[in-house]
Structures are given as C-alpha cells and as structure tokens.
Amino acid sequence: MGPGVASKGELTRASILEGAYQHFLRQGYHGTSMRQIAEEAGVALGGIYNHFSGKEEIFTAVLEAYHPVHEIVPVIQASEGATIEEFVRNAAMSMMAALERQPGFLNLIFIEIVEFNSRHLPDLVGVTFPKVMSIVGPFAESQNKLIDIPLQSIVRSFIGLMFMQYFAEKLVGSQFVDMPLEEAFEQTLQIFFHGILAE
C-alpha cells in the first residue's frame, strides 16, 4: 500500500466515526445506539468492536476528529500582523471562519457539556493549548506591550471570548443587537483590547 493510501481498517474506522457523528448530532449521545451507528457506517454491529471498545470511546474519537480546536493551531500559525492588535484580529477572524466550517460543532459541544459534564474537553484542550502558547508566546514577548497578567490567562480569555461570541451569534443572532457579523466581532475585539470602561 503506497504512502497516503488508507487501509481498509482506517476506512472502516472513518466510516464509523462519520456515522456516529451524524447520529450524535441528530439524536444526542444517549439517544444513539451502537446498532444505529453500525447501520449508518455500513458495517456489522460486531465489526465496530474491532475498532472501539464501546460507545463512549466512539464519542471521544468523534469529539477529537470533528472538534475545530484542531484548526486553531494552524490558524494562529498562519495569522499575520506587525502589531499585537493586527495579529489578534487576524487570528480571531480566522478562528470564526474555522468554526463556520464545522456547523455541527455547537451540537457536539452541547452533548459534551450536558451529557458528559465536559469530562473529555480538558484532555483535548491540554493537547492544543501548549501548541498555541508556543506560537503566541514568542510573538507577544517581542511586542513588549502587554499588561502584567500571565500570558496564559490572556490567551485563555481570548479563546473563551471568541467562542462565546460565536455561541451568542448562533443562539440569539440579531435578537438583541442587529448588526453585521463582522461588526459584532470587531466590537468584541475592542472589548478584549480595551475593556468596557472609558478612560
């Protein structure tokens, strides 16, 4: 088998994950059976257990495979800017585009929070956050403009604010503030940079 060619086992595993992902989005974790996953994936029920020990392991693999947190690192790596503001603005807009490319993300996160009490997310973030810090840290130090707060707290706040802005747009949209999406994100970035208190 040549390089880059998936094996039969890898293709079967990918089919199981895709089938599970579709069912989890439609029915939630507890509403989805192993039999439904097998039927969606086009494999025998017993064949699933050659790849996964059970449904929770499948969910963990789905969360890992479809979570846009994987896109954050390359997005931040690709972000450009001569100043902190430019760099953060470009990273933020790229993050929003990455989230838009994963329309099922919101459902997946709600399943993780409601049905699993967020117990899988720390492991996923634990792998990604150090990579983000390794990119942001050297750039931030070269700028020498940040307030005296640990950089980890600043990055965590930024990621949290961007995710919450995304959730707010999906959950309430223009219910409270009717403005273009880009303008809403720009205002969120202004709050991140400058706070809400007038000088």
**Is 126 in the same domain as 155?**
yes
Which CATH number characterizes residue 26's domain? 1.10.10.60
**Which amino acid would we find at residue 179?**
M
Range of the domain at 24: 8-55
Which CATH number characterizes residue 119's domain? 1.10.357
Q: Which long-range contacts (CB under 8 A, 24 or more apart) does 159-162 make?
A: 159/72, 159/95, 159/132, 161/188, 161/191, 161/192, 162/92, 162/95, 162/96, 162/188
**Is 117 in the same domain as 159?**
yes
Helix (H), strand (E) at residue 67:
none
Residue 62 domain-assigned (yes or no): no
**Is 112 in the same domain as 148?**
yes
Residue 51 domain-assigned (yes or no): yes
Pair 26, 34: CB distance under 8 Å? no
Please give the pLDDT value at position 53. Answer: 93
Please give the pLDDT value at position 98. Answer: 77
- Please state the domain count of the chain: 2
Residue 160 domain-assigned (yes or no): yes
**Is 89 in the same domain as 13?**
no
Please give the pLDDT value at position 33. Answer: 95
- Strand, helix or coil at 179? coil
Q: How many CA atoms lie within 13 A of 18 on its CB side?
A: 10
Residue 1 domain-assigned (yes or no): no
Confidence of residue 30 (pLDDT cuts 50, 70, 90): very high
**Is 51 in the same domain as 72?**
no
pLDDT greater than 60 at residue 61: yes
For the entire predicted model, the pTM comes to 0.74
**Is 133 in the same domain as 90?**
yes
pLDDT single digits (tens) 95-145: 778 777 877 887 888 898 899 999 988 888 787 778 778 777 777 777 777
Residue 46 domain-assigned (yes or no): yes
**Is 12 in the same domain as 77?**
no
For the chain, the average pLDDT equals 83
pLDDT greater than 60 at residue 1: no
